Amino acid sequence: MKLRKLFTLIAFAHIGISLSAISNLAVAESAKEITQEEVEKGPNNGRVLRQGDLAIELAIYETDTPPEFRVYASYAGQRISAEDIEVNVKLTRLGDGIDDIDFYVEGNYLRGDMVIYEPHSFLVSLTANYQGKTYEWSYDNYEGRTKIDDSLAKAMDIKTDFVSSKKLNARLKVYGQLVLPPNAVRNISARYPGEITSVDVILGQAVKKGQTLFTIQSSESLQSYQVKSPIDGLITFQDIGVGEQSGDKKLVAITDTSQLIAELNVYPEDQNKKLLDAPVDIQVPGHDKTISTKIFDSLYAVNGSQAKVYRAIVNNNDGFYSPGQFITAQILFDSFTVERAVKEESLQAFRDFTVVYGKFGDQYEVRMLELGRKAEGWVEVLNGIPSGTEYVTLNSYIIKADIEKSGASHDH
C-alpha cells in the first residue's frame, strides 16, 4: 500500500501538482486506509444485521430481474415467517434524494417494491417491526465514491460542467477531390481552314469572353478573320503557330475554372444517411479557408471502391484551387436538440458501465449512463443522471484512479 501511494504521489508531482497539494493528497490517502469493519454475510449473500435475538439478512437480488431488495428474518436462530415482520428501507443517495422502499410478502421472504438503480451507493437505514418492538439499523454502502478537497481538485486541474440540453449537429467526415464541371472546357478550331497569320495568346494565359485568340487567312476566300474566345477562362491547350495551316484540328482549349466540383466519396455504411441538399464544409490541404457549400446531387453508380459519389459546387473565382486537389469534407446530415448531453471526453469505464463522475460539494461519485447519439464531442444521455447535475469533464481519469485505489466494493 505504501509503495503504491508513493508511485501515486510521484505521478501527481510529474504532472505539475504543487507540493502542498501532494501533501493534502497524502492526508486523504491516509484517511482511506482506515480498516473497514468486517461485514457478516448470510446464506443468500446478503448483509446480516443483528440486534438482540433478531437477525435481518438484507440481500440484493438481480438474477433475471432488475436489482431489488429481499429480506430474510430470524429470531433466536429460528426462521421468522415473512407475514410476521414489517420492514422499511430508506436509501439516502448523494445528491439524488431518498429512496423509500416498502416490502411485501413473497414466499418465505419479503420483497422490495422498487428497483435499486445504479450506483448501489447510499446510506442504508432499515427499520423492522416484530412482535410490537421496533428495531433500527443504519450503515454506509458506498461504491464509486471519493472525496477530494476543492483546493486539491483545482491543483489537479479537475474541470466540471453541468448536464444540460444541447443542440447537436451530426456531421459525416468524407474524402474526395476537386474536378472540373462537365461543360468547363471549350475546344477551339478554325471555322474556315487557312493559314494562321497571328497568335495573340499563350498557354496558361487568362482570357476574357470576346478576346482575340488568333487570326486566320482563309484558303478559299483569302480573307482574314479573327477567332475570339467564347468564354472567360485559361488557355489549357495550344497547338498553333504563325504560318501553319489550321486544318480542322483543335488549335486551342479554354477552360473555365471559376467553378469546380467537389466529388465526395460516401461508403456503404453511411449511404443510408440523408445527404442531398446537406450543407458541407470543405478543407483543401495548404489552405486555411473553409469552403462552405452544399451537396447538389450524386452520381448514379458507385465507383470502384463501392463509394457513392456526392457532388458540391466550389466557387473558384479567385483561382485558389485546382482540379485534381484532394480534399476533406464534413457533411452536416442531421441537427437535433437533446434534453441532456455530456462531453464525450468526460466518459470513463466503471465495472461494466460507461459513467461520468458527478460532483456533490467535495464528493465525487459514479453515475451509470444510458447513452444515445453522438455529435461534435457531445453525447446524448438517455438515462442515469438528471439535468443540472455537476459532473467532471476534464481529468476525470484522476477521479477514477482515486476510487480504484480506495477499493470501494460493490456490496451485494
Which phi and psi (to 5°) does residue 184 adopt? -80, -20
Alpha carbon 181 to chain centroid, angstroms: 36
Summary mean pLDDT of the chain? 90
pLDDT of residue 411: 55
Single-letter amino acid code for the residue at 374: K
Q: Is the backbone peptide bond immediately before 119 cis, with ω within 30 degrees of 0?
A: yes
pLDDT of residue 405: 82
Q: What is the pLDDT of residues 105-115, one digit of tens each?
A: 999 999 999 99
Claim: this prediction has a pTM higher than 0.95: no
Q: What three-state secondary structure class fits 207?
A: strand
Q: Are 9 and 28 in contact (CB under 8 A)?
A: no
pLDDT of residue 27: 43
Domains and CATH numbers, the chain: 45-140 (2.60.40.3340), 148-169+335-407 (2.40.420.20), 171-177+256-331 (2.40.30.170), 184-253 (2.40.50.100)
- For the chain, give the percent of residues with pLDDT over 70: 89
Q: End-to-end CA distance of the chain: give it in Å, rounded.
A: 26
pLDDT at position 171 over 90: yes
Alpha-carbon gap, residue 202 to 200, rounded angstroms: 7
pLDDT at position 87 over 80: yes
| Residue ranges in 15-131 assigned as alpha helix (H) | 19-32
Residues linked to residue 357 through DSSP beta bridges, in sequence order: 366
CB neighbour list of residue 143: distance below 8 Å, 6 or more residues apart? 119, 120, 121, 366, 408, 409, 410, 411
pLDDT of residue 38: 80
pLDDT of residue 4: 43
Q: What is the pLDDT of residues 235-287, one digit of tens each?
A: 999 999 999 999 999 999 999 999 999 999 999 999 999 999 999 999 999 99
pLDDT at position 169 over 70: yes
Burial class (CB in 10 A: 0-12, 13-18, 19+), 9: middle
pLDDT of residue 276: 96
CB neighbour list of residue 41: distance below 8 Å, 6 or more residues apart? 47, 48
Q: What average pLDDT does the segment 310-322 reach?
A: 95
pLDDT at position 185 over 50: yes
Alpha carbon 40 to chain centroid, angstroms: 44
DSSP element (H, E) containing 178: strand 164-179
pLDDT of residue 3: 37
Confidence class for position 57, pLDDT limits 50, 70, 90: very high
Nearest C-alpha neighbor of 367 from the set 382, 375, 148? 382
Confidence class for position 83, pLDDT limits 50, 70, 90: very high
Q: What average pLDDT does the segment 175-182 reach?
A: 96
pLDDT of residue 404: 87
